[in-house]
Each structure stands twice: as structure tokens, then as C-alpha cells.
């Protein structure tokens, strides 16, 4: 048969998305259908059981590893060749949607089912994985399962992580829900390649009217918490020249980091997301302000440049206003660049299928960035309606689901048939 003409069955894919979405379903007042399946809860177990059942139905060889990552393998014709892997996660945040993560896993199963129904064999095995605790909503860090899978964190350390909500130990919760598997983790060998289908979780594709995002990498993240301390004073009696006002400094920093991002242009973004005044009263110059600055860039060198400019801004303002500024790093991840040939392959495949494409970095973290440490990796993005994600109103149109899963099918097919 003509493999290039092979397409997935989007109704079957939507059927599985809906069925999985019923587990931990959260219904909104305006008909929204979201999901709450925090990692290693009973709901997560029920979701895992459903997906593992589907893997068995499709004849996959299912492996559960020591951190609870699940990999279903469809055999290839040459057992000596490493598998091509796809997948994502099925845990969600408390106010999650039905597509984030789930699409990548169920899209992978849909590819397998399409191959099965058409009797298509491949040289290499095809593996569909879901990784434990991608969201980090209950156990930090996020992307924990894939991080351990690639050897970026020791199994022992990961099993000892405590839940942010109830203090439960990750290893105990894993055993409780029956997913402390026998397969060693980190994995003994790397896949031939990894491709992850995911919703964009942002507004760019919809805004540009583009169907397929060709993901070039994942942004680096630098989070800083600032504590600015000045002198509390009467708002009426203290002349401007005698003030040491942390509120004013916080405003200058807010405007300043935006100016840095605008001057640097490119992919640099800067956000002040949290700002707390003490004592927060109308007629008092504040004594202290706590705030956060989130800087991101796809280029490590440029991210460091933004960090330096931000640091000098703080030093200058502290000296000018006579306040002290304490800086504390909350998170720091270097950017990840995906494999150039894998990026080209996703782009060429999407274009061959007649879809509009644009290259873009991912603003959010994904399991693919961990897999990129051990094998050639790339991602396929599809649009998120209104740019919403981590929100029960999260939605992706059926036509876009079809497009994304078809690109995944064709990319996996090509990879699975190469030597």
C-alpha cells in the first residue's frame, strides 16, 4: 500500500481523549470539560490502567519501570534495531485540560492502531511511552519521570521526593497505586529517536493562523525572587528627596525588565508575576516589597546577558534610592535545542501533508527536552484555542488533532523504516 497516503482516524483518537478525560473530570459552569489527575493519585492510577489496557488491546509489549514510566512496544521486523519512541504524560494539574500530555500518548496509540488496521510493518519497533509526574504539580521537580529515565536524577533521590500537598513519599505512592515496576530506570539503552506531539499551550499558532508548530527547542528559564527593603514613612510628611521607597524601586524593576526584553528582542521575554507590598496601605511609603522576575530565552548566552542587565539594574536602583535588594534564584534551566535533522523532518512532513507550518520554541517544559539528552528529538505542536492551557477550557479543534497526529504518523513511519 501507499504508506504516504496513510492517515489516522480522528474519531477514534477523540474517543480515547474523551474516555481518558472522564477520569478525574472537572466540569465548568459553561460546559468546559477539564481534568484533575495529579501524579500518583487514585485518579492517575485509573487513567494509567485505562491506557495500559489499550496498549494490551493493541498487542503492545508493556514495560513499567522503577519510577512508573510506562512504555508499550510494537515489535519491528529487525529485533536488533533500537525503537523509535513517541509519548508524553497523562498526569495533569489540578485545573488541567483533556489535551495537555494526553494527546501525545493517545496520538501515539492512534498511530499504532492505524498501522495495525492497515497491516503495516516497520523495520524498527515503535514505542509509545507515558512518563511519571511531568507536571510537577504534586511532586517537584516537574518532568521527573523522564528526567530519571535519561539519568538526570538518581532513582533513589526521586523515590524520596515528598508531595507538596500531603507530604506523601513518591516511592510509597508509586507502590500504593501498583506502578513501581520491575524494569530498571534509567533506561538501559536510548531510543533511535523521540518525537512528541503536544498542544502549543500558548496563542501563537492560532494568532498566526498556522496548523503545525515545528518546535525548535525549549526556552531556558531563570526565576528570581527579590526582597527590596527601604524605610517605611508617612506619605504626607516625608519629602521626596528623603525617601527610600521599595515600592518605587519595584515599579522601576517591572518597567526595566520589560525594557530589557524589548531592547533584546528576539525570543527574550520578561515577566513580573508576583508583587507584595508591606504594609500595603494607601498613606504609607512601604518598608518592603517582595517580587519575582521570570526571564526566558532560547539562547543560553542571551539569557545570561538578560540576567546581567537585570542584576545591574537592581544594583543601580538600590544605590540611587538607598534600599537593599536581596536576590534569590528559584529556578534555572538551560535552553534545549532539538536535533536539526529531526526539526527538518517534522517541517517537511507537515508541508508534504499540506499543512501550514511555523518554527517556534516551546515556552513550556516537556518530556522531550529530557529525551533530547539521549537521542535525536523533536516536537510537533498543534494550536490551543485562545492560547489556553492548564485551564479546564483547554481545547484543540478536531481538524488540528487530525493534522498533528497525521504528521506524527508519517514522521514515525519514516524513522521506523530507516536503518
Applying CB under 5 A, the residues found at the interface with Zn ion are 100-101
CA-CA distance, 194 to 47, in Å (whole number)? 23
How many residues would you count in the chain?
419
Give the whole-angstrom CA distance, residue 4 versus residue 37: 37
Helix extents (H) in 219-361? 246-264, 300-321, 340-352
Nearer to Zn ion, 41 or 268 (CB): 41
Which CB sits closer to Zn ion, 54 or 381? Answer: 381
Smallest distance from Zn ion to CB 141, Å: 14
C-alpha distances in Å from residue 117, one per residue of 14, 59, 114, 263, 292: 17, 12, 5, 54, 52
Q: Which of 248, 381 has the CB closer to Zn ion? A: 381
Closer by beta carbon to Zn ion, 65 or else 91: 91
How crowded is residue 133: how many other Cβ atoms within 10 Å of its Cβ? 32
Least distance (Å) between residue 35 CB and Zn ion: 12
Q: How far is the CB of 22 from Zn ion (least distance, A)?
A: 19
Name the 3-class secondary structure at 218: strand
| Cis-peptide into 141, omega within 30 deg | yes
Question: Closest separation between CB of residue 92 and Zn ion, Å?
Answer: 8
Q: For residues 101 and 335, which CB has a smaller minimum distance to Zn ion in the complex?
A: 101
For Zn ion, the closer of residues 88 and 287 by Cβ is 88
Cα 142 from Cα 137, distance rounded (Å): 7
The answer to whether 190 touches 374, Cβ cutoff 8 Å, is yes
Q: Residue 74 CA to chain centroid, in angstroms?
A: 26
The least distance separating Zn ion from the CB of residue 392, rounded to whole angstroms, comes to 15
Indicate the residue among 170 and 368 with the shorter CB distance to Zn ion.
368
As measured in angstroms, the least distance from the Cβ of 238 to Zn ion is 50
* 3-state DSSP percent of the chain in helix, strand and coil, to 5: 35, 25, 40
Kindly tell me which of 100 and 347 has the beta carbon lying closer to Zn ion: 100
- 314 phi and psi angles, rounded to 5 deg: -60, -45
CB of 102 to Zn ion, least distance (A): 9
* Choice between 100 and 400, CB closer to Zn ion: 100
Nearer to Zn ion, 63 or 390 (CB): 390
Q: Could you identify the residue written with the cell 483533556?
A: 98
Give the nearer residue to Zn ion in terms of CB position, either 113 or 133.
133
- In terms of Cα–Cα distance, which of 88, 139, 118 is closest to 3? 118
Angle, CA 48 vertex, CA 380 and CA 181 arms, to 5° = 105
How far lies 67's CA from each of 111, 130, 375, in Å? 26, 11, 20
Cβ-in-10-Å burial (0-12, 13-18, 19+) of 417 comes to middle
Alpha-carbon dihedral sign for residues 179, 70, 113, 358: positive
Nearest distance in Å: CB 100, Zn ion = 4
d(CA 92, CA 133): 8
Q: How far is residue 235's CA from residue 285's CA, in Å, rounded to a whole number?
A: 6
H helix or E strand, kind and range, residue 373 = none
CB of 156 to Zn ion, least distance (A): 26
Here the cell at position 417 is 523504516
* Nearest distance, CB of residue 366 and Zn ion, angstroms: 6
Q: Least distance to Zn ion from the beta carbon of 311, Å?
A: 32
DSSP label of 5: G
Residue number with the smallest Cβ distance to Zn ion: 101
Amino acid at each position: 500500500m501507499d504508506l504516504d497516503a496513510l492517515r489516522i482516524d480522528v474519531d477514534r483518537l477523540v474517543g480515547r481523549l474523551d474516555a481518558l478525560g472522564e477520569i478525574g473530570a472537572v466540569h465548568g459552569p459553561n460546559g468546559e470539560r477539564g481534568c484533575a489527575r495529579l501524579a500518583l493519585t487514585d485518579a492517575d492510577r485509573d487513567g494509567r490502567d485505562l491506557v495500559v489496557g489499550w496498549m494490551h488491546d493493541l498487542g503492545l509489549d508493556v514495560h513499567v519501570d522503577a519510577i512508573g514510566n510506562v512504555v508499550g512496544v510494537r515489535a519491528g521486523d529487525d529485533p536488533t534495531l533500537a525503537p523509535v519512541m513517541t509519548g508524553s504524560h497523562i498526569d495533569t494539574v489540578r485545573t488541567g485540560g483533556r489535551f495537555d500530555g494526553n494527546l501525545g500518548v493517545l496520538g501515539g496509540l492512534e498511530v499504532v492502531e492505524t498501522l495495525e488496521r492497515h497491516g503495516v510493518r516497520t523495520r524498527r519497533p515503535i514505542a509509545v511511552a507515558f512518563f511519571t509526574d511531568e507536571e510537577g504539580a504534586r511532586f517537584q521537580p516537574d518532568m521527573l519521570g523522564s528526567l530519571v529515565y535519561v539519568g538526570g536524577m538518581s532513582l533513589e533521590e526521586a523515590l524520596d521526593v515528598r508531595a507538596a500537598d500531603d507530604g506523601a513519599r513518591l516511592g510509597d505512592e508509586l507502590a500504593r497505586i501498583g506502578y513501581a515496576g520491575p524494569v530498571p530506570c534509567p533506561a538501559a539503552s536510548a531510543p533511535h529517536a523521540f518525537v512528541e506531539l503536544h498542544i502549543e499551550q500558548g496563542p501563537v499558532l492560532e494568532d498566526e493562523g498556522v496548523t503545525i508548530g515545528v518546535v525548535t527547542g525549549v526556552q531556558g528559564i531563570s526565576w528570581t525572587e527579590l526582597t527590596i527593603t527601604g524605610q517605611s514613612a508617612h506619605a504626607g510628611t516625608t519629602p521626596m528627596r528623603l525617601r527610600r521607597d521599595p515600592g518605587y524601586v519595584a515599579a522601576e524593576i517591572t518597567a526595566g525588565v520589560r525594557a530589557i526584553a524589548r531592547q533584546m528582542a528576539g525570543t527574550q521575554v520578561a515577566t513580573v508575576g508576583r508583587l507584595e507590598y508591606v504594609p500595603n496601605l494607601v498613606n504609607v511609603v512601604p518598608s518592603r516589597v517582595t517580587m519575582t522576575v521570570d526571564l526566558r530565552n532560547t539562547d543560553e548566552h542571551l539569557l545570561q546577558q538578560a540576567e546581567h542587565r537585570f542584576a545591574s539594574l537592581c544594583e543601580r536602583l538600590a544605590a540611587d534610592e538607598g534600599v537593599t535588594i536581596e536576590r534569590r534564584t528559584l529556578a534555572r534551566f538551560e535552553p534545549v535545542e532539538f536535533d536539526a535533522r529531526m526539526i527538518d523532518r517534522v517541517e517537511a512532513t507537515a508541508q508534504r501533508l499540506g499543512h501550514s507550518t511555523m518554527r517556534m520554541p516551546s515556552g513550556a517544559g516537556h518530556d522531550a527536552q529530557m529525551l533530547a539528552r539521549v537521542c535525536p528529538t523533536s516536537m510537533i505542536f498543534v494550536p490551543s484555542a485562545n492560547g489556553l492551557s492548564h485551564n479546564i477550557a483547554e481545547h484543540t479543534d478536531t481538524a488540528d488533532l487530525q493534522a498533528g497526529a497525521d504528521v506524527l504518523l508519517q514522521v514515525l513511519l519514516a524513522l521506523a523504516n530507516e536503518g
